[in-house]
Homo-oligomer: A and B are copies of this chain.
Amino acid sequence: MKKPFLLMVSLAVGLLTSSVATAVDELPSWNDGKAKQAIIQFVHKVTKKDGPQFVQPAQRIAVFDNDGTLWAEQPMYVQLAFALDRVKAMAPEHPEWKTKEPFKSALAGDLKGVMLGGEHALLDLIMASHAGITTEAFAKIVSDWIADARHPRFDRFYTDLVYQPMLELLDYLRANGFKTYIVSGGGIEFMRPWTEKVYGIPPEQVVGSSIVTKFEMRDGKPVLTRQPKVNFIDDKAGKPVGINQHIGRRPIAAFGNSDGDLQMLQWTAAGNNPNLCLYVHHTDAQREWAYDRESHIGRLDKGLDEAKAKGWTVVDMKRDWKFIYLFEKR
């Protein structure tokens, strides 16, 4: 009687695990609704073996914008907060900054004053705070800063301001054979020191803007030095270019929150495979921020129109997300 008994046990275990698998909600911070359903249906569709829309695992590329899609971008991009802090830290070596814009305003904490200088002023700040050192030294500075700096509104680490529903989505996609990438307008070397720990995305799967680096020998030791010169802007029409350059495959899923992500979504939507294009719409002034067509940061205007016209998924943060940050749950 041993064999039949073992068979029954194994059958029972089989039934149990399969029913458990169905019952588990892999996106627990998402409220039931159109957005959650669209994600789940898409994943089922492309992973169903022998299904008409099955996509090979190697082709399951998912690309995520970072600022405003994976973490908060208000009241200013985190990288700008880093640049301002860095300028303050470097100020003692640069007495001339006391009277020179945009540094004078930056040191006074006067962001509006900085902005008066337009794009050039921002670029000056970025170059002064991001260039002139080796890649290794820069990575260390970023790591130290992100482990210490705090968001002005929440008084929490910036890495606590990542969206819990998006972390679940990253995990869910990876569990279904997707390779997850960041494709951000932010600096590639500003993100890489912490994306693996925070998002589970390793450095080689981070695409971003960059400045020129140069190989040099210093005291017989090879280093890469960061030059005050733009190399690549991974924003708007640059995003499909960056995707092609780094990944060399067209994504089948793309996630963004602004017009800067529009071309990335268009590029994804134009592939031959089934695809999922999704916009995160910032609608929650209470728990996060509410902004779209008129915002200077993360403007979502053309993208909102195109999402409607093309039937893309739009996440209404207020309605669709049960929790925004992990700390809300604690």
Q: Is A2 an interface residue (CB 8 A)?
A: no
Q: Is A86 an interface residue (CB 8 A)?
A: no
Q: Which listed segment binds B: A71-79, A100-108, A245-253, A297-305?
A: A245-253
Chain B residues whose C-beta falls within 8 Å of the C-beta of A204 in the assembled complex: 179, 204, 246-249
Given A214-B241, A224-B240, A263-B215, the answer on whether A192 and B270 have CB atoms closer than 8 Å is no
Query: Contact at B214–A237, with CB atoms within 8 Å?
Result: yes
Chain B residues whose C-beta falls within 8 Å of the C-beta of A247 in the assembled complex: 203-204
Rounded to whole angstroms, the CA-CA distance of A214 and B245 in the bound complex is: 11
Minimum C-beta distance from A195 to chain B (A): 9
Rounded to whole angstroms, the CA-CA distance of A244 and B246 in the bound complex is: 12
Q: Is A142 an interface residue (CB 8 A)?
A: no
Minimum CB distance partner of A216 in chain B: B237
Rounded to whole angstroms, the CA-CA distance of A249 and B224 in the bound complex is: 12
Q: Interface readout for A231-260 with B: 1 if CB under 8 Å, 0 if not?
A: 000000110110011111100000000000
Chain B residues whose C-beta falls within 8 Å of the C-beta of A135 in the assembled complex: 244
Minimum CB distance partner of A192 in chain B: B248
Rounded to whole angstroms, the CA-CA distance of A244 and B214 in the bound complex is: 11
Query: Contact at B58–A222, with CB atoms within 8 Å?
Result: no
Q: Is A146 an interface residue (CB 8 A)?
A: no
Q: Is A184 an interface residue (CB 8 A)?
A: no
Minimum C-beta distance from A279 to chain B (A): 17
Chain B residues whose C-beta falls within 8 Å of the C-beta of A238 in the assembled complex: 215
Minimum CB distance partner of A204 in chain B: B247
Rounded to whole angstroms, the CA-CA distance of A245 and B213 in the bound complex is: 9
Chain B residues whose C-beta falls within 8 Å of the C-beta of A179 in the assembled complex: 204
The count of chain A contact residues (Cβ–Cβ below 8 Å) is 32
Q: Interface readout for A265-279 with B: 1 if CB under 8 Å, 0 if not?
A: 011001000000000
Given A240-B224, A267-B215, the answer on whether A248 and B58 have CB atoms closer than 8 Å is no
Chain B residues whose C-beta falls within 8 Å of the C-beta of A192 in the assembled complex: 248
Q: Is A127 an interface residue (CB 8 A)?
A: no
Given A249-B203, A263-B215, the answer on whether A270 and B222 have CB atoms closer than 8 Å is yes
Minimum C-beta distance from A168 to chain B (A): 23
Q: Is A91 an interface residue (CB 8 A)?
A: no
Extra inter-chain contacts (14) besides given A210-B245, A222-B267, A222-B270, CB under 8 Å: A188-B245, A192-B248, A203-B247, A203-B248, A204-B246, A204-B248, A206-B248, A215-B237, A215-B238, A215-B240, A215-B263, A215-B267, A222-B240, A224-B240
* The 10 nearest A-B residue pairs measured at CB: A203-B248, A215-B237, A192-B248, A222-B266, A215-B240, A204-B247, A222-B270, A222-B267, A213-B241, A224-B244
Chain A residues within 8 Å of B, Cβ to Cβ: 58, 135, 179, 188-189, 192, 196, 202-204, 206, 210, 213-215, 221-222, 224, 237-238, 240-241, 244-249, 263, 266-267, 270
